[in-house]
Structure formats: C-alpha cells, structure tokens
Structure 1
C-alpha cells in the first residue's frame, strides 16, 4: 500500500509534474529521480501489522518517503513519474534494497513486506539474483521477505513476471496481492498468482463496522481466501470497532494507524491500551456471551524460566498430565507438551544435554490462545486453521490477557454442537432468521450492558389481503423480499434482526445511523411491493377480498410500518417494559396511512399503554 499521508505539506517552491509535461520538465524530473537514488535521499518508513491470534507484531511494510524539497507530492507520484521517464525499475529496486538494509539495521522482528509492481518484477532487466544477493549480504532469511504485488499495475512481459515469481516462491519468498478490491483485475490476479497473502484495500474496509454491504463483501473475500489457503491482511484500520469486526470475520492480520503509523523508527510492541480496546469491543459485541468461560479448566502452569528437569518431574508425577501452559509472569507464552519432553529424554544424550535448560527452549511458542470474552466462532476458526502437524486438543484461555486456565477440544465440540442445534431450533423456517427466544436473550443482554440502542418493530399493513387474494405462496414471496431488505440494512456484527412470526420482524440497532436505514427500508419496500400484484390490481391500486367479518372490501397496496423506540442513556428495568412501549408505538404508527416510521423515546411513551 502506498501511504499518501506520510509526507509533510509542500512548500511554495515544490513543483508538481503533470504526466503530459513538456520534454524539458520530464528531463528535469528524471534528473531529480537519479539524484534521489544516487544520494539515497528517499527515507524508508515501516508500518507494523499484528497477528490477531497472538496480538504480537507479525511484520512491517516498508514505505518510501521522498524528501519534501524533491518536488514530488508523494511516493505514488514519484513512481508514476519514474514510469514516464523509464526509471521505474531502478527506483523500485533501490527502494527494496534500502528497505532490506534499514530493516536489518533496526533489527526489527517478524517479516518484511516490500512493494514491487508487475511492471518492475516482470521487466526483462529485473534481476532475481541481485535481490537474493542483497538478502544474503544483509542476512535476511528468504522466508522473512514478502513481495507485495499491486493489482493496479500490469506487466508487458507476463511470462517474465511469472518466471520471476515462481523462482522467488520456490526459495521461500512469499507473495502478497496488494490493494485487493482497489482495481479492476483483482480476481484475475488472484486466480493467476495464487498468493499466500491477500491484502484488502482500505477503501473496502472503511466503516465496515457500520455498513452491512461492506461487511458481507469482505466476509465473502475472507471465505474465498480461506478456501484457497491464503492469509488475509486488513489495511488501514483506524478504530477498535473496525478491528473487532474484522477479527470476528476471520482476517489473520491487521494494519493501520490504530496499531502504529509508518515511521522511520517504528513501534516494536503494540500499546497495551490498544489491545485493551479490542478486548472491550469484543466484550460489548459478542453474541455468545460467556460461553468460552464455561470451558475453562484450572490447570497447573510453569514459568518460562523453569528448568526442563523440573517440568519433566511434573509430567512423571502426574501420568494424566499432557500439557503445561508456560507463562511469563501472568501472560501465557507457550505450552510444554508431554510427548515432546518424553521424546527428548528418550533420545541419546537428550537428558544430560538439556535438563538444565529452561522450558522456553522446547515449548510450543504458537499455541492457540483465546480470551474468555471471544466467541466460539473465533475459537473454532483458530483451531481449524492450525497446521495438522502442530495440531493439539488443548488450548489456553485468558482473562484480560492473564492466564485463566486451559480448554479441551472435545468440550468445545460438545458446546459448539449444542449451540448450533439450539440456534437451529429457534430459526424461522421461512426467512431463516432467529425467533423469539434469541431475541429475548439478546434484548436482556443488551439491557444489562446499558449501552444505547434502538428497538424497531417492523409490521406489514394489509398483508393478510395478499394471502387471501393470491394465496400463501405469494405472501411468502413478499415476506422473503422484506426479510432480504431488512438483512441489507442491518449490520451482522453490530445489530440483531429477528423474525418473530407472520409479517412481524424486530431489529435491535447499535448502528448509529439506524434512522437512515429505516428510511431506506421503507423506500425500497414501496418500490418493490407493486411487482407482487397482478397488473390490473397494480393499475387499480388495490385488491378486493373479504375482511375479518366476511364482508367484501378493497385493500390498498401493502405498506410497511416501522415503530422505533430509541434508547439512549435511559435506564430500562426489563424487557417487558420495552415490549409494552413498542406495542403502544406500533399502535400509534399504524393509525397513519401508508408506509411510515414513528420514533419515540421512553420519555415520549410515558402515557397510557394500548395493548395490541
């Protein structure tokens, strides 16, 4: 990703070079690019990204920063002018070499991500040997380098590009598809290159915690990545809620200003308060509240400085003990597995050579660690993504990043199966949406958290006439149409949508712009509903059928009523009061003609309640 926000504002003397500039201007720009390269004046900044499973820095992306007096607005303009002046190859190779040099000089942890365009990597003069020589000279292992290939550029020599990529990947250098969804050929590049990593562009992630369509699109991308065996990096994350939603969706790594701005002296550890925000977000948003807590089994642990012979004595004295969590203070850093120590001690000289060493030398450094506040879905995903060669049936559970105990896979499977069966029992058979029991549980949970939300009751007007006149199949089609509109305007990670029977739906909104969603629900419903009437009935604007007393009557085109109770900081004693109040609001709203939204607060509702 080319970060355009890194550079200071330009002085009055800075010159901008349009692509159609006269030859003299372009020649001057080419000279300045040559000087930047020769004098090594382009600074290299690094931006960290974190592993969502371990909350540690997985690596850094290297970003070029031309000096402000060079006359280029940012690195993107510099690269664009370099292409126009036939200097793209030299410039990109220079930036990669500088990034490797600075990365090793700073002794940064994890992997280094460098940007190479297909234009450069597919150039006949690009030298893989020179890149490998640079890595060897600087002492950076091939496996620690990741080449980011942007989807916004192409190569005139695709066979050269493919040959170079194949050679790099055979040596252990990984490929990341950069800026996915920012261009037009992302899926084609994905299929052609089969990258190990896919980076989703910020444009598709901004406000993903608020926009349901973005959420569903990214969910599809993540699913596709998992199916193809690729890891996913979410770029440009700026808020804890964005990070929380993307974690629940299953992305592997997060990058953005929330975790650290690009800097020539970058962060080496993520600020604890940032990680605390992520935990707080999950606690506020979780839909499987407290379930992982039920899996916690108290288990003995050891410190990472404990000697191997002490750990071995613990295993020998407890035949049923298969794993020992390893802590650094209160934080888990690994697991010691019984079979690993047994195999070591069974080997020639295994015991005398190792018994005085600390367990940190032999422990599993990448165990599955999950906080009790996370969902069963996240835990199941983390376990399923483990390599089969390192798969174990024990995982660590934390409470606020401190060790709380262990969990076992068999218990997780039982709990997850029970939850899935239970959820299926309470789904509406037509819409597939949750019914009354999940609604009441969610409502009570949200009330207990004392966070603001809106309760919206959705009801159709004159719907019975459709069933009576056209039959239940037509009525079911209308309900499916309405449920799809409602799904499109509720955020799966923030809101709750339930179908409580017949033509009655309930939405619990945490999305702040819920009123705009309600207005759009009405607009889309009114636009689509006429298509469910026969042409002559559409023209007449009504259908004739018997009323509840058996008398003939003309019913207008079906409309939708939305009755909303906006709960700010109001203290609500229980869900029964809300049920009474929303029923009263719905009664008043249905007295209006046509589709409408009526919004009230608890203060507005302090009047005699009309039960319906």
Structure 2
C-alpha cells in the first residue's frame, strides 16, 4: 500500500470513527479581565499525521471533503463545550467556501446546541481566511439568515490582507479578530499602534467588538488595554485546553490598572442610571406577561431571566403586536415567554460608561432603537435604563462640563479641579499631583502670534492626556488651571515615569511650532534676555502618601515651591516632594 493511500485510509478512519476532539482557548475582556468566551480549536488523534488542524484541513480540501470535516468539527466543538454561564460565547471556525455548500444549514447545528443546553445566542461563526470570499452579496444573504436565528459573525485575521478588510466592509460582522501580525511587538511600533487606534475608532462607531489575537507578552497586553481594544486572546492569557480557564491574578490586575478611560471626570457609569424593572422567569406563560402590561400601563418593557441572569427582553408594543393577529391570541396565550422574547437585547455591566452605552444603543436597528438597556452587576440582573434617560444624562453632563470647562482646551476648569482634589483628599488613598507650566510662553506668543500660542496650549493639553493614557490609571484626571498652567491628578504607582513621559512627548513635538526659525536668546516674563532653544516644560510633582492629613493649601504651597525650583533650571524638568 502506498504512503498516500495509507494517509487517506487514516483520514477516512478518523472521520468515520469521529476521532476528533476540541480544545478551547479563552477570550478575555480587557475591561474587567473576565473570560467572555472560548475559541474552539479542533485536533486530530495525537499520534496521527492529522493532529495539527492545518494539516487536517489542507488534506480535506485537497480531497474535496472539507464540508464533511467542518461539520464534524462543529459538532465536536459543541459537544465538548466548556461554557460556564449563558453569556459566554463559543467561537466556531468555518471556512468561507463552506458557506456556499448546500449542506451547510443551521438546522443540524441547532439540534446539537439544544441537546447540550446551548442556543444560537451562544455561538459565533468565525469566518476564516483559508480562501477568500468570492461572492460577497451571496455570503451576506446567507449570513443574514443565520443572524436572524441568533448566531453572531466574526471576521478572522483582520489586517493580514485586503480580503479581510473587504469582508469587514461587506459583511459588517459582530466581532473583528485582529491578526497576530499587527499585535506582535505593538508596544514598540508606532505604525501598528496608529493602525489599532483606527480600528478602535471604527469599531466603536459601528458597534463592533475587537479581539486581539496572539498576545504572548505583558507589554502587548498593556498597550492593547490602553488603546481600548475590547477583548484579547493568546498564550499569555491562556493556552488551548479541554478545561475552563481563569485569568491569572497578576494579568487581571494589569488589565484593571491600564484599561482605557472613556471620558473625563464628569462621565457617569450606566449603573448610576439603573432603575428597577419587572422581571419574569423564561418559563412564565405569555398570558402572565400580557396581564402585567395591562395592569401597569406605565411599563414599557420587562426583562426575562434564568436564575437571575438576564436572557431576554419583551417590550410592551412588540408583545401586543404578536397577539394582534386573527389566531395569535389562541396560538400564543399559553406558551412560555422565551418563545417570543428578544433573545439578543443590549446587556451591559453596571460599570460601563454611559457614553459608551449610548453609542451601542443608538447603533441598534431602528426596530430596537428605543428598547430598554439591561444592566447587570457581576453578571446578575441589576436594573434597566431607557434611551431617554441615557440621552438626558449625557446632555446634562455635557452642559455641566461646557459650563465649567476651559473654552480653549475643553479640559475641566478650576471648579472641577478643586472638586477632584477634595475627593482625593477625603478618600485618604495615595495620589499624585503634577502641576505643569510652560517656560517662555509669553515670548513665544509675542513672536509667533496668538493663534500659534493657542495651538501650543492645545498641544500641551494633548501631551498631558496622552501621557496619562500611557502611564496613568483609568480614574486619573487632567485639568486646565488657565493660561499655560495645567494639572494632572493620578493614582499611578510610577509618578516619576509619568513626568518623564510628559516631558518626552512635549519635547518630541514642540519643534514643529517654530516654523524653522532660529534664535539664540528668548525673553522671560520680566523682560530679561535668556539663552534658550525655545519653550520648555516645568513640572512640579507632589506625591501625596495620605498617611497623615493634608489640605489643598498644603498641596498648592508645595507645588509653588517646586515650580520655583523648576523655573530656575534651563530646559524641561520636573522636581518632586512627598507630603502627608
């Protein structure tokens, strides 16, 4: 028997006896470090030439048996599923050409899901790039059919080639998986960082979640968390396994320390807007829910739960539309509510920022635009918020921010600065205050004009915020005292590194404001001639350990002394002192 026929026999035996098995790699949230789901990765028998999935799928494609293999792989992925709660997701790989196979119908998959206590809402079909999609209009129509049943769609290997970008534009997936080639050493590459920033902005506007693949180093994890990428996957976070995963405590702490801050100090969490809402178990009869709406005319919706975990939503108007048909009343009245509930409502954690929830809510289809937003606490039912409440709160926050913010930079002004400082002092937890002041700004303004001066002020504001994003914590604060004076309030464990980053960023870009002019001397505020290369940055770092009582006056006095020292030194510099 030839080697080729021996391999073919092994392959057919593997398929016939279903010798495949699945391992599962965790996908972790970069907001809270929790496992949001698993990617199912198929493996062949350990001692066979098909143990590697790459070899297995390449051979199946050569033999024209790809569909049969993929169907078996899907079944094994579901049978071995290790999902721990109803909100976790199972990512199942399917190649693009299988979409067009007449045998690829969701009925078989649905049957297996139900046999294992799962539903289409738990499944994400991950379109892999083993071959590019040839007919996007047909693929879109096919995938839309599955979406209506509750399945979600992910595009794999985004950034690895043109075809994946075209797939994103045409198919508008629920998840985009960023290829390892863009993730590797991203902390060392500004180009990769800028590309990821663009992906984050695009995903936010389109209500798409990003998953970074192939994370192997802590520096990569930190950078991606700071950039605002939603989820991550890779050997650092968990290797493929047959058992459920839990992220290591040190990695959870890294995520909490570096997660991206959405908005400034005036931003609210959605939990602040949570109000009680009627809940019903998913096995309750439709008639019971309808009676509730009849008795409570003010109720616009109810949440459907399974053991206190929200699994669906029923809006008043939609329920009565269901019951309005000629035979609908008798058809639905004694059925359970889970048969007609919305199985994919917007569910958010209580600590999600209100503006982020607003963007997610208003990205929904027109039919669901005014549906309630369900709010959870530790995965359990906590309450709900209406679109009206969310939009009103954003309007109020923006009006308050605009009223007291600096008109040039938009940063919080003195009223908010004092509030933040008083809050930190009353919390009695260590924090740091960085006062920033531009040296020779008056000379610059006189020489280059007020417009250039305003641009330099705005640049300095950007430098402060960018440095905080890189070296700070999620709850740090940047304010504009006035003129060329700024303040940053941070809980970072490395305050000196924060100051160094501010100076580095400032020095890196300030030259672009000089229009290639040259000079040897500048003039200080008193009109004295000083030898200098131009505007520099003086920082006063007040380290507040809070082991003893401190006051605003104590912080201000200390900062003033440090500022005097910094001003006496040529060039950008920081001085620091511990108090409290």
TM range (shorter): 0.7 to 0.9
How many angstroms does 1:575 deviate by? 4.5
Which residue among 355, 361, 366 is the counterpart of 1:388?
Answer: 366
Residue 596 (str. 1) matches residue 565 (str. 2)? no
| Paired residues for 1:108-507 under 5 Å | 112-114=91-93, 116=95, 128-129=100-101, 132=104, 146-150=125-129, 161-163=133-135, 167-172=138-143, 176-181=154-159, 183=160, 185=162, 189=166, 194=171, 196=173, 197-201=175-179, 218-225=196-203, 231-235=209-213, 249=228, 251=230, 255=233, 261-264=239-242, 287-288=265-266, 292-348=270-326, 350-447=328-425, 452-491=430-469, 494=474, 495-507=476-488
Unaligned segments of structure 1, at least 5 residues: 1-26, 604-612
Which residue among 103, 108, 120 is the counterpart of 2:77?
Answer: 103
How many angstroms does 1:491 deviate by? 0.6
Q: 1: CA distance between counterparts of 2:267 and 2:391?
A: 17
Q: 2: CA distance between counterparts of 1:567 and 1:295?
A: 33
What RMSD, in angstroms, separates the aligned Cα atoms of the two structures? Answer: 5.2
* Residues 504-560 of structure 1: CA deviation (Å, up to 9, x unaligned): 12223445555345324434544554565576743xx313x5853xx6634523322
Cα distance change of structure 1 residues 601 and 525 upon mapping to structure 2, 3 Å threshold: same
How many angstroms does 1:602 deviate by? 1.9
Cα distance change of structure 1 residues 524 and 50 upon mapping to structure 2, 3 Å threshold: closer
Does the residue aligned with 2:489 lie in a helix, a strand or coil?
strand
Q: 1: CA distance between counterparts of 2:568 and 2:327?
A: 87
Q: Are the equivalent residues in 2 in contact too, given 1:589–1:598 (CA < 8 A)?
A: yes
Q: 2: CA distance between counterparts of 1:562 and 1:53?
A: 31
Unaligned segments of structure 2, at least 5 residues: 84-88, 114-118, 147-151
Q: 1: CA distance between counterparts of 2:161 and 2:176?
A: 15
* Residues 303-329 of structure 1: CA deviation (Å, up to 9, x unaligned): 444443333333222333332333445
Q: 2: CA distance between counterparts of 1:511 and 1:71?
A: 51
Q: Are the equivalent residues in 2 in contact too, given 1:279–1:373 (CA < 8 A)?
A: no
Does the residue aligned with 1:594 lie in a helix, a strand or coil?
coil
Which residue among 513, 538, 542 is the counterpart of 2:521?
Answer: 542
Q: Are the equivalent residues in 1 in contact too, given 2:225–2:255 (CA < 8 A)?
A: no
* Residues 36-77 of structure 1: CA deviation (Å, up to 9, x unaligned): 74564765323354899999998642324567767999767x
Which residue among 542, 556, 576 is the counterpart of 2:532?
Answer: 556
Q: Which residue of 1 aligns with 2:149?
A: none
Does the residue aligned with 1:579 lie in a helix, a strand or coil?
helix
Does the residue aligned with 2:579 lie in a helix, a strand or coil?
coil
Q: Are the equivalent residues in 2 in contact too, given 1:44–1:98 (CA < 8 A)?
A: no
Q: Which residue of 2 aligns with 1:13?
A: none
Does the residue aligned with 2:101 lie in a helix, a strand or coil?
helix
Q: Are the equivalent residues in 2 in contact too, given 1:393–1:410 (CA < 8 A)?
A: no
Q: Are the equivalent residues in 2 in contact too, given 1:45–1:266 (CA < 8 A)?
A: no
Q: 2: CA distance between counterparts of 1:69 and 1:368?
A: 46
Cα distance change of structure 1 residues 89 and 208 upon mapping to structure 2, 3 Å threshold: same
Q: 1: CA distance between counterparts of 2:65 and 2:397?
A: 52
Q: Which residue of 1 aligns with 2:116?
A: none
The alignment of Structure 1 onto Structure 2 pairs a total of residues equal to 544
How many angstroms does 1:412 deviate by? 2.0
Q: 2: CA distance between counterparts of 1:138 and 1:534?
A: 65
Cα distance change of structure 1 residues 178 and 91 upon mapping to structure 2, 3 Å threshold: farther
Does the residue aligned with 1:490 lie in a helix, a strand or coil?
helix
Question: TM-score with structure 1 length normalisation?
Answer: 0.69
* Residues 231-275 of structure 1: CA deviation (Å, up to 9, x unaligned): 533446899x97998699584x665679865323557xx89x99x
How many angstroms does 1:375 deviate by? 1.6
Q: 1: CA distance between counterparts of 2:281 and 2:193?
A: 41
- The structure with the largest alpha-carbon Rg is 1
| Paired residues for 1:60-75 under 5 Å | 60-65=38-43
Does the residue aligned with 1:581 lie in a helix, a strand or coil?
helix
Q: Are the equivalent residues in 1 in contact too, given 2:40–2:93 (CA < 8 A)?
A: yes
Q: 2: CA distance between counterparts of 1:402 and 1:473?
A: 53
Q: 1: CA distance between counterparts of 2:417 and 2:576?
A: 20
Q: 1: CA distance between counterparts of 2:524 and 2:99?
A: 82
Does the residue aligned with 1:162 lie in a helix, a strand or coil?
coil
How many angstroms does 1:479 deviate by? 2.9
Cα distance change of structure 1 residues 422 and 250 upon mapping to structure 2, 3 Å threshold: farther
Q: 2: CA distance between counterparts of 1:524 and 1:228?
A: 31
Cα distance change of structure 1 residues 67 and 524 upon mapping to structure 2, 3 Å threshold: same
* Residues 411-458 of structure 1: CA deviation (Å, up to 9, x unaligned): 222211111122233443333433333433444445555555432222
Does the residue aligned with 2:345 lie in a helix, a strand or coil?
coil
Question: TM-score with structure 2 length normalisation?
Answer: 0.73
Q: 1: CA distance between counterparts of 2:524 and 2:260?
A: 49
Q: Which residue of 2 aligns with 1:518?
A: 499
Q: 2: CA distance between counterparts of 1:400 and 1:127?
A: 37
Q: 2: CA distance between counterparts of 1:91 and 1:212?
A: 43
